[in-house]
Amino acid sequence: MSCHPDKLPPTCSEAERAAALQRFHLVDTAWRTLGDEASRKEYDARQTEKEMRKPWPLNEKVHVDEMDWQEDEEVYSYSCRCGGEYVVTVKDIDQNVSIVGCNTCTLSIELVQGGSSEVQIGNSVQPT
Ligand SMILES: [Zn+2]
């Protein structure tokens, strides 16, 4: 860097020295800004990559009531937009399974089971 203030010949004036110093700071700041931008871009790229790697992209929240009860198999099913199905067994519901994967693609739904516990509380309060 030819304009570095430390490398000016001792014969130069105060004004020349000040100008050189200022020029050096400008260049220095520009470099720092460029560096920040590069590292931020790299950070963003890494974040995006992390998003893409999520194994189960959540499609939507589905309440158990919205699912179809399959009497023969004793399971609840819900159609996926890919044409496949989300299948929830009664056991799954007992165990409060909340994320259900599609049987043909990588999408999944969040199973919502609100309501049933409230009914139980209501029943227990009922006089016998
Ligand atoms: Zn699917």
Is the entire prediction scored with pTM above 0.85? no
Instruction: Compute the distance from residue 72 Cα to the ligand 1 centre, in Å.
Output: 22
Question: What are the DSSP calls for 19-37, one per residue?
Answer: HHHHHHHHHHHHHHHHHHH
pLDDT of 77 strictly over 70: yes
Token pair in block for residue 55: 């194994």
Instruction: Compute the distance from residue 83 Cα to the ligand 1 centre, in Å.
Output: 6
pLDDT digits 0-9 by tens, 2-59: 556 677 677 778 888 888 888 888 888 777 777 788 888 888 887 777 665 555 567 7
Query: Phi/psi class of residue 99: alpha, beta or left (left: φ > 0; alpha: ψ in -120 to 50)?
Result: beta
Distance between CA atoms of 80 and 66, rounded to whole angstroms? Answer: 13
Cα 17 to Cα 7, 27, 52, distances in angstroms: 10, 16, 53
Distance between CA atoms of 128 and 6, rounded to whole angstroms? Answer: 94
Q: What is the mean pLDDT of residues 96-100?
A: 92
Instruction: Compute the distance from residue 60 Cα to the ligand 1 centre, in Å.
Output: 12
Instruction: Compute the distance from residue 10 Cα to the ligand 1 centre, in Å.
Output: 75
Q: Check residue 3 and give its pLDDT.
A: 53
Instruction: Compute the distance from residue 44 Cα to the ligand 1 centre, in Å.
Output: 29
Q: Check residue 53 and give its pLDDT.
A: 58
Share of the chain above pLDDT 70, in %: 78
In sequence order, the 6+-apart residues with CB closer than 8 A to the CB of 56 are 99, 101, 106, 107, 108
pLDDT of 120 strictly over 50: no
Instruction: Compute the distance from residue 67 Cα to the ligand 1 centre, in Å.
Output: 15
